[in-house]
Structure 1
Amino acid sequence: MARLPPGPRYLLSHLHYVALPPATVFLGTSVARAYAGVHIHALVVAVASFLSFPIFWLVYRAWRDTSANRAAAAHGAIVAPLASTQGVKRRGKEGYPRDFLFRLSEIWGNTFSFEAYGLKRMVTTEPEHIKAILATNFNNFEKGPGFREQMQSLLGVGVFNADDELWKFHRSMTRPFFSKDRIGHFENFDRHATDALQQMKARMREGYAVDWQDLISRFTLDSASEFLFGQDVRSLAKGLPYPPTADVRFVQPEEDEFSTSFLAAQLVAAGRGKFQEAWGLSEFWKDKVIPHKAGIDKLINPIVEDALRTKADMETKEVTEEDTLLSFLLKVTDDRQIIHDEILNILIAGRDTTASTLTFAVYRLAEHPDILRRLREEILSVVGPTRRPSYEDIRNMKYLRAVINETLRLYPPVPVNNRCAIKDTVLPATATQPPIFVPAGMKCVYSVFMVHRRKDLWGPDALKFDPDRFLDERVQKYLTPNPFIFLPFNAGPRICLGQQFAYNEVSFMLVRLLQLVSAIEFVPEVAPESIPPPGYADSPGSDGTDRVWMTSHLTTYARGGLWVKMTEAKE
């Protein structure tokens, strides 16, 4: 059945729900005719069969809700209140991220449920509930079959789409490659940062703005591919795009097929979430991710094939200093699909999440020249204007870490995530709600993006970009007593193994950038498609000053790019 198109596959897997009601009507009329001699007109049977499904669905919903309420009461809990969405403004793709959920939360509290396409899902921005889902009740939750099916054609059986023993396999395999010794070697970062910044400087000297998001995505892709797989895919060698409004007489760079295909595939896969398990009906005859896989596989397949050719030369199955993640993966499996999918999954972690943080860090530095000056002063005092930063240098720059943390707070790379309850679970009581009962099979959505912007958790200035909140008395007031209010890297057993790698890479690039430039100007007008629509920042989640069009697929990114001009520092 896995080879069927999405629509027929969905219908076949749910055939019993569709067929049971009319089958019951047909069986009942047949029994009445055979044993009671009651003749029922065919038209009546047809109408009853047609109406049987909505009647069955109403009865099923009533039974489902009654059962959940009874089970909740037996546990001394309640079910999450069912939010009415009537009258709540929906902005869709044109709106501020999570605006609809922000507005529902204002009415229904921090944990509620709502119904879409006949299925209930719970939404929470409550740190204690997220802590239970990710950590204290970890074994009661998983990604779930719905999520795995939604992401299968993109992520396959990789770590982000795995549960149970397959997830444990991926986790145990990846862990050794993020030790301090491995992530503290900065030659890789320096080589690619130098390449990226030289290209940026050349473009600035031509008088054109640079799409920092595009540049940094190439930098993180080249760095990650070399670190994890031993192969630099050289995406920076393709050159940088010019602003869409530029009257360019130069040859435009070669299109980055991987990035274009990967973005399109992620948008399709992420868009399935709004349809929940019924997404196959919106892609009835063809999986819309598949046409984009060729551009993705064009980059990944040569890495896999080259690695498989060298497999015979491996002398040991132990992890050595010379091993990359890929070479170690070859020591534990011959499965081509597992190798392919793991490469893709790890590239997402190594490229998109770090690129997202660097994109929005530079946006905020452009919007806050006072913060940029202060950060640059720290960098020059610790590292100087030209020296390459060391691991110890980065550890000693407290304001640099605060700037990165504040970026991660307001712009977490993964803004929303979900888990599925695999058994009945009770989430703990909070200051505003009693314990919440979560029945087995319930999809639980949690938004780190929304948690990070809650004023009751971070203070009345929660929507303001202020790195000092990670340095002053607010740390003890808000973060220390409740660490689950800050979760850019998730938490619990599935916490991101690469978080220190990401901190190092973001820190290194920001140091190198601010050694080179003394000012940054955000110029979205050079790319009109990057300018948010009117009313975009009119959201409970925004302070009203947002000028970048923030959106997301699997990770957060700036729609249309982040176009900036920079002033080179005087030597």
Structure 2
Amino acid sequence: RGTWRSSLPGWNSLWIPVTDRCYSLPQSCLPVKSYPKDKFVYKKLFSLFGQRFLGNGLVTARDHEKWYKQRRIMDPAFSSTYLRGLTGTFNERAEKLMDKLADVADSKKEANMLHLVNCVTLDVITKVAFGVDLDLLKHSSPFPKAIETCLKGMVSYLRDRFFQFNPKNRGYINEVREACRLLRTTGAQWISERKTAMQNGDEVPKDILTQIIKDSMTEEDEEFMLDNFVTFFIAGQETTANQLAFAIMELGRHPDILEKAKKEVDDVIGMKHEISYDDLGKLVYLSQVLKETLRMYPTAPGTSRHIAEDMVIDGIHIPGGFVALVINTIFSNDPLKFDPDRFHPDAPKPYYCYYPFSLGPRACLGKNFAQMEAKVVMAKLLQRFDFTLVPEQTFDILDAGTLRPKSGVLCTLGHRDYKNKGS
């Protein structure tokens, strides 16, 4: 704070959000609906280089009433009853990944774990959300590349306001636009097919696609439907895939934690292939591992809110019109240490210090969905395989719209010895 800021009027709104460090910001900003998401980031995600991208979907909508209407429509697709019914699909898709990993283990080849879990999480979201079977572990598809292109384009668009004016970037910009068009065109096709089925009286699942279509009649609603289609298409797989890859990376770096997680899986799951909803609740230590993974490696490094009015936080007067950038990785003792015991049931639980899915009314709708899926995949992996990280790979983080392991998490795999396991 001080003279340098007052000497550069408009810097905060024109270039980048510059905020003061204030550790009570999460408690002051996130639970309050009157603080909308800031326009610096979220308004710009409406489109990428002139091509509509996330529009006014659940993640980007800044108007509370518009957001709330969409949220109410989507809620049934994430109810506990509906999620319980998805356990079978999670098991089925995870089994396909286990089959693929078995082939890799037999071949003695290295496995790019980020790529493989990306395939399975995209398979899951397209199946349970849109009723489409891609089977990406066996068949190629343009969607993974399109998602990656959109996210990388998003980074360039947000961080370099002159990027689109450089003639050298025209080819890449066209690729980003085409990727956005592919996702929205696909959404329009799948929505049309589902609408036809509903109009014909066919039985359709009460999934995300059905909820997207509900109460959508006008041309504007059609665009909202596509906004949310793209939102769920990307958020529903990218976040969980990155979490799984980082968890595998950290378990590989901490053999003691890995063995403890394996023992719990052996005790709870044994040798059975079908993991039940009730089993997931018993995997307490695995939950701790996954939570600690998200604490260290949140898919999005933070969130932000626009504070229109003056406010006082911790005795600091902050003038209105600023952007509050809230980052959750800093609110821990020894934050660079991977320690699942932070989330032990008996450990202290300080408020407003852990929010990888955000907090308050704008908290992630798919939180429980993502954690169920991650648990099923990780439990099966720990049940079936021993894995070792390939030496000399980097453990750096790549910021490509979301945070992901730069190396892809390269592993060698071996089948576990079942002789000493109970049934």
Q: Does the pair score TM above 0.5?
A: yes
SS of 2:305 mapped into structure 1? strand
Supply the distance in 1 between the matched residues of 2:303 and 2:57 (Cα, whole angstroms): 17
SS of 1:409 mapped into structure 2? helix
SS of 2:34 mapped into structure 1? helix
Which residue of 318, 324, 331 corresponds with 2:214? 331
Which amino acid in structure 1 is aligned with residue 255 of structure 2? P
Which residue pairs with 2:62 in the alignment?
Answer: 163
Matched, 1:272 2:153: no
Matched, 1:260 2:155: no
Which residue pairs with 1:377 in the alignment?
Answer: 263
Matched, 1:488 2:341: no
Which residue pairs with 1:6 in the alignment?
Answer: none
SS of 2:18 mapped into structure 1? strand
- Deviations 1:269-308 (Å, cap 9, x if unpaired)? 12333346x7665689969554234345445534532431
Matched, 1:294 2:178: yes
Contact 1:262 1:292 in 2 (8 A): no
Using the TM superposition, give the Cα deviation of residue 444 of structure 1 relative to its aligned residue in structure 2, in angstroms: 2.8
Supply the distance in 1 between the matched residues of 2:40 and 2:234 (Cα, whole angstroms): 21
**Are the structure 2 counterparts of residues 224 and 285 from structure 1 closer, same or farther at C-alpha, using a change threshold of 3 Å?**
closer
Which residue pairs with 2:387 in the alignment?
Answer: 520
Using the TM superposition, give the Cα deviation of residue 427 of structure 1 relative to its aligned residue in structure 2, in angstroms: 4.2
Which amino acid in structure 2 is aligned with residue 462 of structure 1? P
Matched, 1:446 2:341: no
Supply the distance in 2 between the matched residues of 1:404 and 1:346 (Cα, whole angstroms): 21
- Deviations 1:239-281 (Å, cap 9, x if unpaired)? xxxxxxxxxxxxxxx5x432223212211212333346x7665
Contact 1:133 1:141 in 2 (8 A): no
Supply the distance in 2 between the matched residues of 1:323 and 1:183 (Cα, whole angstroms): 11
Supply the distance in 2 between the matched residues of 1:213 and 1:82 (Cα, whole angstroms): 46
Matched, 1:559 2:406: yes
SS of 1:484 mapped into structure 2? coil
Show the 5 A alignment for 1:511-550: 511-517=379-385, 519-523=386-390, 525=392, 531=393, 547-550=394-397
Supply the distance in 1 between the matched residues of 2:58 and 2:200 (Cα, whole angstroms): 24
Which residue of 112, 117, 124 corresponds with 1:216? 117
Which residue of 324, 335, 339 corresponds with 1:462? 335
**Are the structure 2 counterparts of residues 120 and 370 from structure 1 closer, same or farther at C-alpha, using a change threshold of 3 Å?**
closer
Which residue of 198, 202, 205 corresponds with 1:322? 205
Contact 1:192 1:222 in 2 (8 A): yes
Contact 1:521 1:566 in 2 (8 A): yes
SS of 2:108 mapped into structure 1? coil
SS of 2:388 mapped into structure 1? strand
Supply the distance in 2 between the matched residues of 1:82 and 1:282 (Cα, whole angstroms): 34
Using the TM superposition, give the Cα deviation of residue 386 of structure 1 relative to its aligned residue in structure 2, in angstroms: 2.5
Show the 5 A alignment for 1:85-100: none
Which residue pairs with 1:179 in the alignment?
Answer: 79
Which residue pairs with 2:277 in the alignment?
Answer: 391
**Are the structure 2 counterparts of residues 265 and 560 from structure 1 closer, same or farther at C-alpha, using a change threshold of 3 Å?**
farther
Supply the distance in 1 between the matched residues of 2:172 and 2:256 (Cα, whole angstroms): 46
Higher relative contact order (CA 8 A, sep 6+): 2
Structure 1 residue ranges without an equivalent (≥5): 1-79, 85-112, 239-253, 452-456, 526-530, 532-546
Using the TM superposition, give the Cα deviation of residue 224 of structure 1 relative to its aligned residue in structure 2, in angstroms: 0.8
Show the 5 A alignment for 1:192-207: 192-207=93-108
Report the TM-score, using the length of structure 2 for normalisation.
0.86
Structure 2 residue ranges without an equivalent (≥5): 419-423
- Deviations 1:488-520 (Å, cap 9, x if unpaired)? 110011001111111111111111111111x32
SS of 1:520 mapped into structure 2? strand
Using the TM superposition, give the Cα deviation of residue 184 of structure 1 relative to its aligned residue in structure 2, in angstroms: 1.5
- Deviations 1:214-258 (Å, cap 9, x if unpaired)? 1001111110111111112332223xxxxxxxxxxxxxxx5x432
Using the TM superposition, give the Cα deviation of residue 523 of structure 1 relative to its aligned residue in structure 2, in angstroms: 1.1
SS of 1:565 mapped into structure 2? strand
Report the TM-score, using the length of structure 1 for normalisation.
0.65
Which amino acid in structure 2 is aligned with residue 522 of structure 1? L
Supply the distance in 2 between the matched residues of 1:283 and 1:140 (Cα, whole angstroms): 38
Show the 5 A alignment for 1:428-439: 428-429=313-314, 434-439=315-320
Which amino acid in structure 2 is aligned with residue 439 of structure 1? G
Supply the distance in 2 between the matched residues of 1:266 and 1:82 (Cα, whole angstroms): 37
Q: Percent sequence identity over matched residues?
A: 22
**Are the structure 2 counterparts of residues 81 and 217 from structure 1 closer, same or farther at C-alpha, using a change threshold of 3 Å?**
farther
- Deviations 1:422-461 (Å, cap 9, x if unpaired)? x2231411xxxx3241422x33322223x2xxxxx422x3
Supply the distance in 1 between the matched residues of 2:74 and 2:3 (Cα, whole angstroms): 40
Which shifted more, 150-159 or 377-386?
150-159
Supply the distance in 2 between the matched residues of 1:176 and 1:134 (Cα, whole angstroms): 24
Which residue of 31, 36, 52 corresponds with 1:135? 31
Matched, 1:497 2:371: no
SS of 1:123 mapped into structure 2? coil
Superposed CA RMSD: 3.0
**Are the structure 2 counterparts of residues 328 and 117 from structure 1 closer, same or farther at C-alpha, using a change threshold of 3 Å?**
closer
Contact 2:74 2:211 in 1 (8 A): no
